[in-house]
Amino acid sequence: MILLSHYDTIIFAFAEYTKKSFFCAMALHKQTAPDLSEYKQEYFVKGISLDNVIFGFHEEQFKVLLLQCRNKKNWMLPGGHVLYEENVDDAAKRILQDRTGLKNVYLQQFWLFGDTERSSPKVVHAAMKALQLDGANSDWMKERFVSVGYYALVEFAKVNPNPDALSLSCEWHDLLQLPPLIFDHRAIVEKALEQLRYHLLYQPVGYNLLPKQFTLRQLQSIYELILNKKLDRPNFNRKMLSLGILIKKEKLFSGSAHKAPYLYSFHKKNYFKFLSQGFSDWF
Amino acid sequence: MILLSHYDTIIFAFAEYTKKSFFCAMALHKQTAPDLSEYKQEYFVKGISLDNVIFGFHEEQFKVLLLQCRNKKNWMLPGGHVLYEENVDDAAKRILQDRTGLKNVYLQQFWLFGDTERSSPKVVHAAMKALQLDGANSDWMKERFVSVGYYALVEFAKVNPNPDALSLSCEWHDLLQLPPLIFDHRAIVEKALEQLRYHLLYQPVGYNLLPKQFTLRQLQSIYELILNKKLDRPNFNRKMLSLGILIKKEKLFSGSAHKAPYLYSFHKKNYFKFLSQGFSDWF
C-alpha cells in the first residue's frame, strides 16, 4: 500500500508535468506502476532540464523558494524537463506553476549548467534516494542532463506557494542558511545570485516588489539585500533618479512635514524598456 | 565519384568532431557512407548543440567569423555538438578549434536558444541543403536541438582561421553586412552583440585586442565599435581610470611632447579579477 501510494504520487506529478493526464489517469486507475522511461522518449527533449531560482523579498528579508524532498532531509529547486513541442522559456513558466502554484512570474534566463560532474552516478544516486525515486523505473533520470537556470524576484508575502506531489512542502528559506540541497542546486542558487548582481548594472529591479508608491529608502533596501552591502544614500539616490525610471509623487505623511521623504512610483514604460533593452548610458 | 568525395568530407569532419578517428578512418578506407545516426547515440549529448560567435577586432574594424556552407551561398557559425563525457564549456573550445583552427580563446557563455521554431522542418531542411547533407544519413540532425551560445573577442590580424572539412572557407565578415546564415545564426549573432554590450557594464574588454601598451583613445575605439556610438572622451577616461585596471606608462613619442598622450597597460591581476567577478562598485 505504501508502494502504491508512492507510485500514485509519481503518476500525479507526471500527469501535471507532461500534460498527458489522460494516460496517467489511466495508469492510476489500473494502479500499476507507470513506466517512467516512456515519458522521456515521447514527451521530453532529451538531455536538457531546467531549474528555477525564485528569490523572495519582503521588507528587510531576502529568501529563496525550495521544495522539500520526500526523505525530509533534502531540498530542491522547482525544476523539471522541457516538453518536445515547448519553448524552453515557456517550460520554465509551466514547471514553476506545476511545482509551486506560482503564476505570471517574470523569469530571467541566467546560465546553462553543463559540467559532466553534475550527472555523476554518486550525485544522481543521492538525489534519487532523497526523492525516493530509487525504486521506480526512473533510469532515464540517471542519464546526463544539462540544466538551464532561470531566476525571478517576487514579493513573498503576496504569494502562497503549494508543493507538487513529488515534494513534501514548498517553503521560503533564508539565503544565508540554506538546508542541504540535491544535485548542484546550491551552486545554481549561488550562480543566480551572482548573475542577478551583474544584471542590476543593466536592468532595474523593484517592480512587483514594492507598493505602488514607495520611498527611495525602500528601493535602496532591495538593492542592499541583493548586493549584501550598505550603499551610500545620496549616491544611490542620484544614480537612481538619473535613470528616468522614477516619477516623483507627494511627500510621505509624517509628523514633521519638512523631514518627510518623497514618494515615488515607477515610470512603467521606461522601466520595461530598460528591462528588455538594458541601460545604455553608463558610458 | 562526387558522391564518394561528399561522404569522404563528412567522414573527415566527423573524425575530427568525435575524436573517434579510428572508426571513421575505417569507414573511409572502405569508401562506404558512414551511418551518422550512430554518432548521435554513442557520443553526443542528445538535444543540445552549441554555437560560437567570434568577434574580431583590428584597428577600426569589428567583424564576425563565419564558415561558408558547401552550397557557396550560405554561411554558418562555428558550432557543433557536445560529447557525452565532455563539459559544455570544454566542448565550445574543442569545437572552435576543430572548425576554425583557433586555440586558447576565452569563450564567454551568453545565452541558451531554446525555441521550438529553430528546429522546424523548414529551417532544418534549408540548412541540410546548404550543408549538402540532405542526401546523407543525417536524420539525427533533424531532431530538436537547443543551442548554447558562446562568444569571444580576438584580434583578427593575429589569427589565421582554417575551415574544417564541412565548410568551403572560414572568413571574417563585417557585422553590418552579414551574408545569408543558416538556422537562426543571424539571431544568435545579434543576441551575442546585445549580451556583449551588457557585459561591458560589469566586465572589462581590451586584453588581447590591444598591443601591450596603448593609449586611452585606442581603448575607447574598441568600446565605440562594440556600442556602435561615439563616446565622450573625458567621461570615458575618468570612468576607465577609476576602475583600477590600467597602469600609466611613458608618453607616446610624437613631435610635440606636451600634446602626446600617455600610454597605458592593463593591470593584469585586477583585469582578470573583474573578468571573473565583475565590477561591484557602480552602486
A121: domain CATH number is: 3.90.79.10
pLDDT value at residue A255: 66
Say which residue the cell 508512492 belongs to.
A6
Given a cut of 90, whether residue A215 has pLDDT beyond it is: yes
- What are the residues facing A113 on neighbouring strands? A147
Confirm whether B204 is domain-assigned: no
Nearest residue, CB atoms, B148 vs list A114, A223, A227: A114
Q: Is pLDDT of A208 > 50?
A: yes
Q: Is the pLDDT of residue B3 over 50?
A: no
CB contacts, 8 Å: B94 with chain A: none
Q: How many domains does chain B have?
A: 2
Do A123 and A175 sit in the same domain of this protein?
yes
Which residue, of B135, B168, B199, is where some domain finishes? B199
Residue B209 lies in a domain: no
Measured between alpha carbons, how far is residue B211 from residues B70, B225, B263, B264, B266 in Å? Answer: 37, 17, 11, 10, 10
- Domain assignment present for A11: no
Distance CA A173, CA B239 (A): 39
- Whether residue A136 lies inside any domain: the answer is yes
Kindly state whether residue A189 falls inside one of the protein's structural domains.
yes
Helix (H, G, I), strand (E, B), or coil: what is residue A252? coil
**pLDDT (0 to 100) of residue B20:** 38
DSSP string, chain B: -HHHHHHHHHHHHHHHHHS-HHHHHHHHHTT----HHHHHHHHEEEEEEEEEEEEEEETTEEEEEEEEPTTSS-EE-SEEEEETTS-HHHHHHHHHHHHH---S---EEEEEE--GGGG-HHHHHHHHHHTT-TTSS-GGGGS--EEEEEEEEEETTT------TT-S-EEEEEGGG---BSTTHHHHHHHHHHHHHHHTTTS---TTTS-SSB-HHHHHHHHHHHHTS---HHHHHHHHHHTT-EEEEEEPP-SSGGGPPEEEEE-HHHHHHHHHH------
Give the one of B148, B194, B202 whose C-beta lies nearest to A198's C-beta: B202
Cell numbers placing A125: 544516486
Mean pLDDT in residue range A158-168: 87
Q: Stretch A124-135: mean pLDDT, rounded? A: 85
Segment B163-187 mean pLDDT: 94
Other beta carbons within 10 Å of A47:
21
Give A34 to chain B, closest Cα distance, Å: 24
C-alpha span between A204 and A272 (Å, rounded): 9
Measured between beta carbons, which residues in chain A are less than 8 angstroms from residue B89?
114-115
Q: How many angstroms separate the Cα of A250 from the Cα of each of A107, A218, A220?
A: 33, 16, 19
Phi and psi at residue A131, in whole multiples of 5°? Answer: -80, -5
Best of A43, A45, A93 to disrupt the B interface (most B CBs within 10 Å) is A45
B138-159 in b/e form (b: 16+ CB < 10 A) is bebbeebbbbbbbbbbbebeeb
Q: At what angle do helices A2-18 and A21-30 cross, to 10 degrees?
A: 170
Same domain flag for B98 and B160: yes
Are B57 and B194 found together in one domain? yes
Indicate the range of A7-11, A37-41, B150-154 predicted with least confidence. A7-11
Q: Do A112 and B114 make contact, defined as CB atoms within 8 angstroms?
A: no
Which residue from A204, A201, A200 is spatially nearest to A244, judged by alpha carbons?
A: A204
Q: Do B45 and A47 touch (CB under 8 A)?
A: yes
What's the gap in Å between the CA of A79 and the closest CA on chain B?
Answer: 16
Distance CA A131, CA A235 (A): 48
Rounded to an integer, what distance in angstroms lies between the CA atom of residue B35 and that of residue A155?
Answer: 54
Chain A residues near residue B47 by CB distance under 8 angstroms: 45-48
Print burial letters for B227-263: b (CB count within 10 Å at least 16), e (below 16).
Answer: beeeeeeeebbeebeeeebbeeeeeeeeeeeeeeeeb
User: Measured between alpha carbons, how far is A13 from A95 in angstroms, rounded to an integer?
Assistant: 11
Query: What integer pLDDT is reported at residue A224 of this predicted model?
Result: 94
B177 and B130 part of one domain:
yes
Based on the domain organization, do B245 and B129 belong to the same domain? no
Residue A228: list chain B partners with CB under 8 A.
none
**Domain shared by A167 and A71, yes or no:** yes
When CB atoms are compared, the residue of A85, A117, A282 closest to B201 is A282
Strand, coil or helix: A79:
strand
Residue A15, helix vs strand vs coil: helix
From A113's Cα to the closest Cα of chain B, the distance in A is 8
Q: Do A116 and B236 touch (CB under 8 A)?
A: no
The Cα of A245 is separated from the nearest Cα of chain B by a number of Å equal to 16
pLDDT, averaged across chain B: 83
The domain boundary residue, chosen from A199, A234, A262: A199
In a shared domain, residues A164 and A225: no
Pick the residue of B84, B95, B196, B201 with the most A CBs within 10 A to test the interface with A by mutation.
Answer: B201
Does B153 fall in a domain? Answer: yes
| A57, β-bridge pairs | A62, A155
**pLDDT(A265) > 50:** yes
Report the gap between the CA of B86 and the closest CA in chain A (Å).
6
Q: Which of A112, A239, A282 lies closest to B112 in CB terms?
A: A112
> Which of the listed residues B199, B228, B254 is the one where a domain comes to its end?
B199
Distance of alpha carbon A246 from alpha carbon A128, whole angstroms: 48
The closest of B191, B187, B222, B229 to B208, measured between CA atoms, is B222
**Chain A nearest-CA residue for B278:** A198
Tell me which of A111-125, A216-230, A250-264, B232-246 is least confident.
A250-264
Query: Percent of chain A beyond pLDDT 70?
Result: 81
CA angle A207, A208, A210 (to 5 degrees): 80
What percentage of chain B has pLDDT greater than the value 70?
81
pLDDT at A236: 93
Shortest alpha-carbon distance between residue B39 and chain A (Å): 15
Contact A230, A145 (CB under 8 A): no
A221 with A189, same domain: the answer is no
Q: Do residues B41 and B146 share a domain?
A: yes
State the burial class of residue B281 (Cβ atoms within 10 Å of its Cβ: 0-12, 13-18, 19+). Answer: exposed
Count interface pairs A-B at CB distance under 8 A: 101
Q: How confident is the model at residue A226 (pLDDT cuts 50, 70, 90)?
A: very high
Which of the two residues, B175 and B142, has the higher pLDDT score? B175
DSSP letter at A26 equals H
What's CA B252's distance to the chain center, in Å? 33
Least trusted range by pLDDT, from A25-39, A171-185, B247-261: A25-39
Q: Please report the pLDDT score of residue A135 as a whole number.
A: 66
Determine the Cα–Cα distance for residues B47 and A48; give it in Å rounded to an integer.
Answer: 7
Q: Above 50 in pLDDT, residue A4?
A: no
Q: Is the pLDDT of residue B205 over 80?
A: yes
Distances (CA, A) of B253 to B89, B152, B221: 43, 32, 20
How far is CA B198 from each of CA A88, A133, A223, B62, rounded to the nearest angstrom? 22, 42, 19, 17
> Distance (Å, rounded) from C-alpha A134 to C-alpha A126?
9
What is the grid cell recorded at B91?
566542448
**Residue A22, amino acid:** F
Q: Where is average pLDDT lowest: B124-138, B147-161, B168-182? A: B124-138
In the structure, what pLDDT confidence band is assigned to residue A281 with cuts at 50, 70 and 90?
Answer: low
**CB spacing of A283 vs B198 below 8 angstroms:** no
Identify whether A117 is part of a domain: yes
- A130-144, A158-172, B39-53, B94-108: segment of lowest average pLDDT: A130-144
Selected for mutation to probe chain A from B110, B112, B235 (highest A CB count within 10 Å) is B112
Q: Are residues B144 and B231 in the same domain?
A: no
Name every chain A residue with its beta carbon within 8 A of the beta carbon of B227.
Answer: 280, 283
Domain of residue B270: give its range: 216-277
Q: Give the closest-approach CA distance of A221 to chain B in angstroms.
A: 12
| Residues A192 and A220 placed together within one structural domain of the fold | no
Classify residue B64: in a domain, yes or no: yes
Cα–Cα dist B59/B211, whole Å: 11
Residue B141: per-residue pLDDT: 72
Instruction: Give me A111's grid cell.
Output: 546560465
Residue-by-residue DSSP string for A131-155 = TT-TTSS-GGGGS--EEEEEEEEEE
pTM value is: 0.84
pLDDT tens by residue, B12-43: 344 444 443 333 333 333 333 334 444 445 68
**Which residue, among B153, B148, B262, B168, has the nearest Cα to B203 in the 3D structure?**
B153
Of B46, B116, B283, the CB nearest to A223: B283
Give yes or no: residues A220 and A98 share one domain. no
Q: How confident is the model at residue B78 (pLDDT cuts 50, 70, 90)?
A: very high
B interface mutation test: which of A88, A116, A223, A279 has the most B CBs within 10 A?
A116
C-alpha pair distances (Å), A41 with each of A25, A83, B141: 19, 10, 17
Q: Which three cell numbers stand for residue B48?
A: 543540445
pLDDT at B216: 96
Structure-block grid coordinates of residue A189: 542558487
Q: Which of A208, A217, A190, A212 is nearest to A272 (CA)?
A: A208
